[in-house]
Amino acid sequence: MKELWYNHDMNELSPLEIYHMLEALKLREFVELVSNGKRPDGTYNYCREALEKKAQQLLQELKQIKNETLENMG
């Protein structure tokens, strides 16, 4: 994925390639959020239930974006 980003002008990417890049970026952001350690007071920013909800929302968002991308491709 990194090579795709650096070796192409954004105008040369297909809608599906752009979708895959967006998907990778959003998934990475979520993994970084989940991987945050404890705060100095020993608590966490998000409980298990909140992370589950965020994961479900992210998957739904990605599904919607992919469907729209495929529809726009014809």
> Higher confidence at residue 61 or residue 73?
61
As a whole number of angstroms, the distance between CA 70 and CA 15 comes to: 8
pLDDT grade for 44, boundaries at 50, 70 and 90: confident
pLDDT digits (tens, 9 = 90+) for 6-43: 555 667 888 999 999 999 999 999 999 999 888 889 88
Task: Give the pLDDT band (50/70/90) at residue 65.
Answer: very high
Residue 59 exposure: Cα atoms within 13 Å on the Cβ side: 6
- End-to-end CA, the chain: 24
